[in-house]
């Protein structure tokens, strides 16, 4: 798969700050860090919302297990 990229401008001071923050982490790329934070903040609703009650969630998990989707 070919990835496409585009460039944005940041204040150099902010860039340096992020650089310091990600240095020595699992992924020390400033671009990856910025992309990750932005994706988080763009996320609408999604997985954090309560869909299942705890009992229902167990019921669904057991079913998915029996079906082979999860273990």
Partner 1 sequence: MRKVLIIGLDSAPAEIVFDRRKEFPVLNRLIEGGRFGTMRSSDPPITIPAWMVMSTGKDAGRLGLYGFRHRTGPTYDKMWIATAQSINEPAIWDIIGQAGGQSVLVSVPPSYPARPVAGQRIGCFITPGADKDYTYPKELKAELEEKFGPYMFDVPFRIENRAEILREIYRMTEKRFEVLHYLMRTKPWNLFMFVEIGVDRVQHAFWKFHDKTHHLYEPGNAFETAIIDYYKFVDQKIGALLNEAGDDTVVLAISDHGAKRMKGAFCVNEWLIAQGDLVLGAAPARGANIEKTPIDWARTKAWGWGGYYARIFLNVEGREPKGIIKPADYEREREALAERLRSIRGPAGEPWATQVIKPNEYYDDARGDYPDLMVYFDDLYWRSAGTLGWGTMYLEENDTGPDDAVHAQHGMYILYDPRSKASVRKDIDITDVAPTVLRAIGLPIPADMKGTPLR
- Closest to partner 1 by CB, 16 or 25: 25
Residue from 39, 40, 38 nearest 10 by CA: 38
Is 20 in contact with 5 (CB distance < 8 Å)?
Answer: no
Q: How far apart are CA 65 and CA 56, in angstroms?
A: 14
Residues in contact with partner 1 by CB under 8 A are 1-4, 24-28, 32, 35, 39, 43-47, 49, 51-52, 56-57, 59-61, 63-71
Determine how many CB atoms are found less than 10 A away from the CB of residue 62.
11
Q: Could you tell me the smallest distance in angstroms from the CB atom of residue 24 to partner 1?
A: 6
- Closest to partner 1 by CB, 8 or 51: 51
- Closest to partner 1 by CB, 11 or 45: 45
Q: Sign of dihedral through CA atoms 2, 27, 22, 39?
A: positive
Q: Could you tell me the smallest distance in angstroms from the CB atom of residue 21 to partner 1?
A: 12
Q: Could you tell me the smallest distance in angstroms from the CB atom of residue 63 to partner 1?
A: 7
């Amino acid at each position: 798969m070919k990835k496409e990229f585009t460039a944005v401008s940041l204040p150099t001071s902010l860039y340096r700050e992020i650089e310091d923050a990600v240095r020595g982490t699992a992924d020390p790329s400033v671009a990856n860090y910025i992309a990750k934070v932005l994706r988080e903040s763009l996320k609408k609703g999604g997985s954090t919302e309560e869909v299942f009650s705890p009992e229902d969630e167990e019921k669904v998990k057991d079913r998915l297990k029996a079906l082979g989707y999860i273990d």
